[in-house]
Amino acid sequence: MTSETTNSPMRRALPSMSVLGPVLALIVLVVIGASLNANFLGTANITNVLARSAFIGIIAVGMTFVITAGGLDLSVGSMAAFIAGLMILVMNAALPSLGVGVPIILLGMAVALLAGLVAGLLNGFLITTLGIEAFIVTLGSMGIYRSLVTWLADGGTLSLDFELRTFYRPVYFDGILGISWPIIVFAIVVIVGELLMSRAKFGRHCAAIGSNESVAHYSNVDVNRTRLLTYAMLGLLVGVATIMYVPRLGSASASTGLLWELEAIAAVIIGGTVLKGGFGRVWGTVIGVLILSLIDNILNLTDLVSPYLNGAIQGVIIILAVILQREAKAKG
Partner 1 sequence: MTDAPVLSLRDVRKSFGPVEVLHGVDLDLRAGEVLALIGENGAGKSTTMKILAGYQPATSGRILLDGEEVSFGSLHEGEEAGIVMIHQEFNLAEQLTVEQNIFLGRELHNGWFLDKARMRRLAREYLDRVNCTVHPDTRVSQLSNSDKQMVEIAKALSRDARVLIMDEPTAVLTGSETETLFEQVRAMKADGTAILFTSHKLGEVAAIADHVTVLRDGAVVHDGRAADIDEDGMATAMVGRDVSDLYPDKAGAPDDVVLRVTGLDVPGHAEGVGFELRRGEILGIAGLIGSGRTEAMEGLCGLRPARAERIEIDGAKIDIRRPSDALEHGLCYMTEDRKLRGLLLDKSMRVNLTLQSLDQFGGLMIDRAAEERALDRAIEEFDIRAGRREMRVGNLSGGNQQKLLLAKVMMSDPSILIADEPTRGIDIGTKQQIYAFLRTLAASGRAVVMISSEMQEVIGLADRVLVMRLGRVSGTLSGDEITEDAIVRLAMGVGAGDSERAA
Tell me which residues touch partner 1 (CB under 8 A): 8, 12, 195, 199-202, 204-205, 207-208, 211-212, 214-222, 278-279, 332
Minimal distance, residue 121 CB to partner 1, in Å? 21
Query: 72: which residues sit within 8 A by CB, 6+ positions away?
Result: 66, 134, 135, 138, 265
**Positive or negative: CA dihedral 318, 245, 307, 156:** positive
Minimal distance, residue 64 CB to partner 1, in Å? 17
Of 218 and 308, the one with the shorter C-beta distance to partner 1 is: 218
Spatial separation of the C-alpha atoms in residues 281 and 283, rounded to whole Å: 6
Of 52 and 204, the one with the shorter C-beta distance to partner 1 is: 204
Minimal distance, residue 9 CB to partner 1, in Å? 8
- The letter for the amino acid at 145 is Y
Of 104 and 216, the one with the shorter C-beta distance to partner 1 is: 216
Minimal distance, residue 138 CB to partner 1, in Å? 24
Minimal distance, residue 191 CB to partner 1, in Å? 13
Element (H, E) at 274: none
- CA–centroid distance for 88 within its chain: 22
Query: 126: which residues sit within 8 A by CB, 6+ positions away?
Result: 132, 137
Of 195 and 319, the one with the shorter C-beta distance to partner 1 is: 195
Of 77 and 193, the one with the shorter C-beta distance to partner 1 is: 193
- The letter for the amino acid at 24 is L
DSSP SS3 for 177? coil
Minimal distance, residue 265 CB to partner 1, in Å? 21
Of 269 and 298, the one with the shorter C-beta distance to partner 1 is: 269
Spatial separation of the C-alpha atoms in residues 289 and 240, rounded to whole Å: 17
Minimal distance, residue 221 CB to partner 1, in Å? 7
Spatial separation of the C-alpha atoms in residues 322 and 329, rounded to whole Å: 11
Short-list 172, 182, 153, CA closest to 92: 153
Spatial separation of the C-alpha atoms in residues 261 and 114, rounded to whole Å: 20
Largest CA distance in the chain: 72
- The letter for the amino acid at 247 is P
Short-list 85, 91, 243, CA closest to 164: 91
Of 181 and 279, the one with the shorter C-beta distance to partner 1 is: 279
**Sequential DSSP letters for 21-32:** HHHHHHHHHHHH
Minimal distance, residue 117 CB to partner 1, in Å? 20
Of 136 and 259, the one with the shorter C-beta distance to partner 1 is: 136
